[in-house]
Structure 1
Amino acid sequence: MDTFSMDIVVLISGNGSNLQALIDQQPDHHYRIVAVISNKPDAYGLQRAQQANIPTKVIDHQQFTDRNAFDQALQNNIDNFQPELVVLAGFMRILTDNFVRHYTGRMINIHPSLLPKYRGLHTHQRVIDAGDTEHGTTVHFVTEELDGGPIIIQAVISVTKEDTATTLAQKVQQQEHIIYPKAVAWFSERKLKMEHNKCLLDGELLPPQGVQIRH
């Protein structure tokens, strides 16, 4: 009997460590990765997928004349697999509004900060520069607002005086590998959904910061 209840497609651009966490925890949850798609032909995450016998596809954004053309090709390829959830795992492209709307409520992303703080890049250094005592990572639904969709779950870590951007990146990544599969599992088990730009878990409205796990 098939124990999977939901097919997902994962989008990557690089190393794919969060993809690996999703692959490793796939047997324990009700999801199945049916494809991994990268916008970069040399992304190491493609090898991770192939080693796990997951179909891969490269859609090189450099082969397209503009962002809309790339996003349309990406959307067509995703939809060929008919996933119920699209998971952005280090996918380093800003997506067009039309693309995002097509997957409203069924596309999630992970960002290395405690959103709404530090949207965009270089989050670890920005935390140190600001003198923050806490940092972390956030899983959220994707909306047209960059890194601004409703928050599902956050892992919070302490920042010490000895921390550098490198050590923070390592600490945050460890937490990403825990909370991202958890969020995907909630969605695949039909516990999690987005309604009216808010997150509901087990029918309960989550607070603005989502579920918070502290370390």
Structure 2
Amino acid sequence: MTSIGVFALQGDVREHVQALNRLGVDAFGVRRPEELERCDGFILPGGESTTMYKLARTFDLLEPLRKRVHEGMPTFGTCAGMIMLADRIRDGIDGQETVGGLDITVRRNAFGRQVDSFETDLDYAGLDDGVHAVFIRAPWVEEIGEGVEVLARVRGGDADGRIVAVRQGPLMATSFHPEVGDDDRVHGLFVDLVKQSQD
């Protein structure tokens, strides 16, 4: 059975595990480096990106996670997880670290504060009906490298055209929270990525 770990030191751990379980995946929280060894794939959930990297550093998880990601472990970042996978950050705190791997520049809290959270429908590459997306203090992608595929952009409003979902090889990231609600199709795309890497 495919095994996918979810970063469990901070963020929406339970919701991701439940979505993966519904897709028939062995999903579990990861807090220690040795737990990474079980992972065929990994999810960096929404949460608070500065707290996430500090806890990952404190629990000696940051370097082993970087190593696995750079060795090609399929990894999916949502909201703060997108920031954690980005190679470059704008509006980060001094010295903020990431796992890296995605050749993108993200802007933290690009859509505004908690009170500016919103929901909208998006066209999403690979999903015929698009997705209903929940944005909570979300980042957006300001720059992408050559190998990065744009999966979704915001339509309308002040953020029209902003990139909110990307993929680069075995790495995938969304600005929004696909674990909210009962639509597991975005997770399904990631599970497909993980299974492809096992073939």
- What is the TM-score with the length of structure 1 in the denominator? 0.35
Determine which structure has more spread, i.e. the larger CA radius of gyration: 1
Task: Considering fraction of residues, name the structure with more helix.
Answer: 1
User: Please, what TM-score do these two structures have when normalized by structure 2?
Assistant: 0.37
More strand by share: 2
